[in-house]
Amino acid sequence: MVNAASTGLSTRDLYLFNQGELFHSYRTFGAHPIRSGEKQGVRFAVWAPHAKQVRVSGSFNHWNSENHAMELVGETGVWSLFVPGIGPGELYKYEIETLEGDWLLKSDPYAFGAERRPDTASVVHDLTGYKWRDEEWQKRKVNGSPYNEAMTIYEVHLGSWKNKGKEQFLTYEEMAGELVEYVASMGYTHIELLPILEHPLDQSWGYQVTGYYAPTSRYGSPEQLMILVDKCHERGIGVILDWVPCHFCKDDHGLRRFDGTPIYEGTDWKRAEKPIWGTLSFDFGKSEVQSFLISNAIFWMDVYHIDGLRVDAVASMIDLNFDKPPELHTFNRHGGSEYLDAISLLKRLNETVFHYYPQALMIAEDSSAWPAVTSPTYMGGLGFNFKWNMGWMNDILRYIELDPNERMHHHNLITFSLVYAFSENYILPLSHDEVVHGKRSLLNKMPGTYEQKFAQLRLFYGFWMTHPGKKLLFMGGELGQFDEWKDAEALDWMLLDYPLHLAMKDYVRTLNTIYSNQPPLWERDCDPGGFEWIDVHNAAQSMIVFMRRGLTGNRFTITICNFSYQHHAEYRIGVPESGAYRTLIHSEDAVFGGSVQEVPRLLRSSDIPWHGREYSVAVEVPPFSFQLLTYEGGAGVERLV
């Protein structure tokens, strides 16, 4: 046993780690190229509190660890060793002798790099050499507010957006060219990456992690990932990372029983097991686990300039018995099923992230009815700033799959979301989870003929884009894919050879552009004063009409949706102002594959009271159509004709 000073470790840092308060623990743990005295080498540090001994085995010692035993630092449970004469690129693992005398071979929980699967060694890496060029982006973020800004998120699985063949992936750097330019050209404001933390199984899509501090080597080096993020920022695109603190996989080289005992998952096996996923939950009440997880969130923002995290499966964290059979149920000290330690961790996580990164996006993927998820912790909330609106998503997908003749009986599915739309700061997700496992693609969820499917998908996208809440669309949705997402293959880009699919892509791009240019559609997403129903009760005709208001002046848009087969040659809607209304987009415009050859671009109001308003406009409404109008004003509108 040695003291911290002799290892180059900070006594204070190790104390904070044991207290759950070392929020940059990645600077202490793992493999760090450093100079010790006159010698250059690598310092290794690992937490293994119940190990009898720990050694470092690697390429530098031909995987013979006999001469590289680590030393226990005080009473901290931390082991350390400085190895002179080695540097970045070395492969290594920890050999750990358990209390029973067994030997385990483990990857480094804090490794900055990893071998490409199926190999599992950690890789020494120096993350300090990259020269970032995103100063302008960082300054812009400081002056912004995500609540009243446009946000259209393109959700991407890097392995299957495009590839070169089976398991022949594009690199992060190649994505920095092709993917980023595509996303920018389509008008998205953000990219959200399915988890890129190192994971052993491709089919897990990254949601079962072994290397929390290592970007997966499937797509190249850490520096190449930095290039990808940097390029996104250069093009004005934010980067959100799917992050998975709810569980980890059981692979032998990973965190499970790391030192022969359950130090990451905890000793209560019923609480640790997640049987539906075959994984283990973290012990969220353990101080060192808190340091590990909160530091990991900070790490991706510190080192890779990630703009935000979408925190996966929050419902499974805050409920001790989420999707567990009765024999695995456990209860908290009050007799309830709330996982109090997980709730405390999430609050502390968000407080810490916003302390260091006030403009960060912390997004909860939460399917529960837990209240105040996006309220500050000082008001009793969990402290996230956005939450996926799973209720809206489930209702609208259920509605849109109905036979149009049945929709009149389920009108509440498209209106109910506005009852609670402002109770949280919402993102409206059309994510990967909705286009896999037999759920069908978005296009194939639509009933009817080939042309009707496209018409309804255009209608659906229009409703989604103008409904309060930020937007997220999984890759391929813009192409009108017929097939479900195939995680081992590239998207069906050949569909763009067919007119309706190409037109769908153009339609989505146009929607994104109009959305970004119309502040009423996003300035007051979190404010009930920014939304107003015009026609909400017309279930018989499956019609809805609503208005979105901006922050300044008399700026508003009007959304008209017809979810039925019916054609209305003259459908009258009440409007709040006299004057001219311009059609911003019409989903049945022939340029998007629709049936209307010439869209009326300018509509004039009449002094005919309607829908409780003094004025009204008459609109032709085709079947399965969406129209978006904007108010142009009263006097002087002749110049617009």
pLDDT digits (tens, 9 = 90+) for 574-589: 999 999 999 999 999 9
Give the pLDDT of residue 256.
97
Mean pLDDT of all residues in 485-490: 94
Tokens 């990372």: give the residue: 241
Query: What percent of the chain clears pLDDT 90, i.e. is strictly above it?
Result: 95
Residue 601, CA distances (Å) to 275, 466, 629 in order: 56, 19, 9
CB atoms < 10 A from the CB of 393, how many? Answer: 21
Give the pLDDT of residue 2.
67
Q: What is the 3-state secondary structure (H, E, C) of 425-464?
A: CEEEEECHHHHCCCCCCHHHHCCCCHHHHHHHHHHHHHHH
Specify the CATH number for 528-640; select among 3.40.800.10, 2.60.40.1180, 3.10.105.10, 2.70.98.10. 2.60.40.1180
**Confidence band for 128, pLDDT divided at 50, 70 and 90:** very high
Intra-chain end-to-end CA distance of the chain, in Å: 85
Residue 636 pLDDT greater than 60, yes or no:
no
pLDDT in tens, 36-85: 888 999 999 999 999 999 999 999 999 999 999 999 998 999 999 999 99
Give the pLDDT of residue 637.
45
- pTM score of the predicted model: 0.95
With vertex at residue 36, the alpha carbon angle to CA 34 and CA 41, rounded to the nearest 5 degrees, is: 50
Helix (H) or strand (E) holding 73, with range, is: strand 71-73
pLDDT in tens, 261-317: 999 999 999 999 999 999 999 999 999 999 999 999 999 999 999 999 999 999 999
Q: Are 515 and 150 in contact (CB under 8 A)?
A: yes
Residue 638 pLDDT greater than 70, yes or no:
no
Give the pLDDT of residue 641.
32
Residue 583, CA distances (Å) to 590, 600, 604, 605 in order: 14, 7, 11, 13
Superfamily of domain 5-123: Immunoglobulins (2.60.40.10)
Give the pLDDT of residue 5.
61
> Where are the chain's structural domains?
5-123, 151-253+291-518, 528-640
**Confidence band for 1, pLDDT divided at 50, 70 and 90:** low
Distance CA 173, CA 221 (A): 9
**β-strand partners of 560:** 545, 627
C-alpha Rg value of the chain to the nearest Å: 27
Residue 372 pLDDT greater than 90, yes or no:
yes
Give the pLDDT of residue 166.
84
Look at the chain and count its residues.
641
Q: How far is CA 451 from the centre of its chain?
A: 32
Give the pLDDT of residue 485.
96
Mean pLDDT of all residues in 6-19: 90
Mean pLDDT of all residues in 140-153: 93
Query: What percent of the chain clears pLDDT 70, i.e. is strictly above it?
Result: 98
Distance CA 501, CA 484 (A): 15
Tell me if 151-253+291-518 shares its fold with 528-640.
no
Give the pLDDT of residue 506.
98
**Confidence band for 380, pLDDT divided at 50, 70 and 90:** very high
Specify the CATH number for 151-253+291-518; select among 3.30.360.10, 3.20.20.80, 1.10.10.10, 3.40.190.10. 3.20.20.80
The residues annotated with a catalytic role in the active site are 312, 365
Give the pLDDT of residue 53.
97
